[in-house]
Amino acid sequence: MSTPKHVAIVGASGAVGAELLRCLDQRQFPVGKLTLLASARSAGKTLSFQGKDLVIEELTGDSFAGVDIALFSAGGGISKEFAPLAAKAGAVVVDNSSAFRMDDQVPLVVPEVNRADVASHQGIIANPNCTTAITLMALYPLHQAFGVKRVFASSYQAVSGSGAKGIEELERQLRHWAAEGRGWDEEILPADQVRVYPHQIAFNALPQVDVFLDSGYTKEEMKLENEGRKMMHLPEFKASVTCVRVPVFRAHSVAVSAEFERPVDLAAARAALEAAPGVDVIDDPSSQAYPLAIDVAGRENCAVGRLRRDCALENGLCFWVAGDQLLKGAALNAVQIAECLL
């Protein structure tokens, strides 16, 4: 067993924070001391960890004395300000925000993809974008087998990706619709009740996640290419992505057409995915078995299925991958990175 560590969670009161607590417990991470940190708004609230009630403290520049590992999940602004302070105080930061992901000095890690990169850290390690992490869980084993060149992908992203507020917004819209007894073709909400998303999320598909870049892509859509290049050490990798928010609570799904350097043998592709850690192959059309958002919710492993030779690419494979956005897409991967530090 490793020496128990002093772990701090920044953003403990959020949706990812709750999952960080659960992952540390379930994976029996050697927690000697646990410090919960959040904004002044959440400070004073109590969270339970392994049967003990812990009071959330207000995050300040002095919060990290004696901390070994600091798990950040409180947005990019908080990370930019406090992660360097935590690192200076001697903690290793695992940061769930996008603040440091493309920083050359900061390793960006999915342990199943590039565990070795952890070693080069200088106090901060970045956790990738959720859709990117989930997609790479299936793409990377295929890359090892056939050499990936580019992908075309569309996402079906859950509202949990916007945190607890996103979940509440979908719930509120649907409960309002049900309570009012409205029909399926009636307007369900006055516009001023829409807050997290620019448009109604219930009964809709929003082709916008994150802000727009000059190219017309959103920031979210370029993360698979940018972060994928960095993690796979593949500077020529290309990814054309459309990121879409759908009325699903917790797990993301991604439809992918991937092109490879070498011919893709379907049986070899399946074998590569079956041998991959953290991946379940669920792929039996005859019994209508394929990965489903509601099935992977709450599960550590990502699921891949709908494997088929791509009919519009020479060395191509089509697949469908789903993963819990709060787990492999966030908290689980952060704790797995922390495990690499033990």
Binding site for a copy of itself (CB under 8 A): 150-152, 154, 156, 167, 170-171, 174-175, 177-179, 184-185, 198-200, 203-208, 212, 215-217, 222, 225, 238-240, 242, 244, 246-250, 253, 255, 257, 266, 285-286, 288, 290-294, 297-298, 305-313, 316, 318, 320, 322
| Total number of residues shown for the chain | 342
Q: Which is nearer to a copy of itself, 170 or 232 (CB)?
A: 170
**Of residues 93, 105, 108, 96, the one with CA closest to residue 230:** 108
One-letter amino acid of 79: S
Mark whether 311 is an active-site residue: no
Sheet containing 69-72: order of strands? 57-58, 31-38, 5-10, 69-72, 92-95, 124-126
Q: How far is the CB of 191 from a copy of itself (least distance, A)?
A: 12
Q: How far is the CB of 231 from a copy of itself (least distance, A)?
A: 18
Q: Hey, how many other C-beta atoms are within 10 angstroms of the C-beta on 78?
A: 20
Q: Hey, how many other C-beta atoms are within 10 angstroms of the C-beta on 261?
A: 11
Question: Contact 4/34 with Cβ under 8 angstroms?
Answer: no
Q: Which is nearer to a copy of itself, 8 or 256 (CB)?
A: 256
Q: How far is the CB of 47 from a copy of itself (least distance, A)?
A: 18
Q: How far is the CB of 193 from a copy of itself (least distance, A)?
A: 15
Q: Catalytic: which of 130, 143, 243, 302?
A: 130
Q: Catalytic: which of 23, 243, 252, 302?
A: 252
Burial class (CB in 10 A: 0-12, 13-18, 19+), 195: exposed
Q: Which is nearer to a copy of itself, 97 or 200 (CB)?
A: 200
Mark whether 302 is an active-site residue: no
Q: Which residues are catalytic?
A: 130, 252
